[in-house]
């Protein structure tokens, strides 16, 4: 469990103190305004941040396994090199967020807004994107083995060099998407 309470964390934020490299596992910060806060390198495993405003937040290198971010505002958030295994980001706004080199194994992104989001070199194996908006997203060199992209909007997305083996793209909109050099063995379209 978290070394700090919700009240202690909110006090640190109000005083402009750093939240980097802290143990906040299991903490509940749902519905809070955490715009621009840096959680870089912190442990937020199994934390709850449902419907929180996390626009421009920094989660680079953080441990976010099984985090619950349902409905959160994550516009322009940085998740580079973070671990989000089995995380729930359903119905979040992730426009222009960055997940470069992140581990998103079995992440749930149902109905999320991900326009112009950067997933370059991310592990998205078995990820659930159903009904997501992924226009102009970058998946360059990403691992999307057995990922579920059914009924997603992938127009103008870049999958160059990505591994889409066994991925499900049934009823996905792929106009203008770049699949150059992508591995598509067993991909269902």
Q: pLDDT higher for 3 or 90? A: 90
Q: Give the residues across from 118 on adjacent strands.
A: 98, 138
CB 170 within 8 A of CB 187: no
Taking only the tens place, the pLDDT of each residue in 172-188 is: 999 999 999 999 999 99
> Does the reported pTM lie above 0.75?
yes
pLDDT in tens, 54-100: 999 999 999 999 999 999 999 999 999 999 999 999 999 999 999 99
pLDDT at 4: 86
Average pLDDT, the chain: 97
The Cα 175–Cα 80 span in angstroms is 28
Q: How confident is the model at residue 1 (pLDDT cuts 50, 70, 90)?
A: low
Torsion of CA 145, 149, 154, 160, to 10 degrees: 0
Q: What is the C-alpha separation between 125 and 64, in angstroms, rounded?
A: 16
Residue for token digits 């793209």? 169
pLDDT at residue 77, as a whole number: 98
Closest C-alpha to 142, from 176, 107, 111, 173: 107
Which residue from 137, 142, 140, 141 is spatially nearest to 172, judged by alpha carbons?
A: 137
């Amino acid at each position: 469990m978290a070394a700090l309470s919700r009240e202690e964390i909110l006090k640190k934020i109000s005083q402009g103190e750093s939240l980097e490299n802290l143990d906040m596992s299991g903490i509940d910060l749902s519905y809070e305004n955490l715009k621009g806060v840096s959680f870089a390198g912190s442990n937020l495993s199994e934390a709850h941040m449902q419907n929180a405003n996390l626009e421009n937040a920094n989660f680079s290198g953080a441990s976010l396994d099984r985090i619950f971010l349902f409905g959160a505002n994550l516009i322009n958030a940085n998740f580079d090199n973070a671990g989000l295994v089995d995380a729930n980001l359903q119905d979040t706004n992730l426009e222009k967020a960055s997940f470069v080199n992140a581990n998103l194994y079995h992440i749930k992104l149902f109905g999320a807004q991900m326009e112009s989001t950067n997933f370059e070199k991310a592990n998205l194996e078995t990820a659930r994107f159903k009904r997501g908006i992924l226009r102009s997203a970058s998946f360059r060199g990403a691992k999307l083995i057995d990922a579920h992209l059914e009924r997603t909007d992938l127009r103008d997305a870049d999958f160059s060099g990505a591994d889409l083996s066994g991925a499900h793209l049934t009823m996905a909109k792929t106009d203008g998407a770049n699949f150059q050099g992508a591995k598509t063995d067993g991909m269902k379209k």
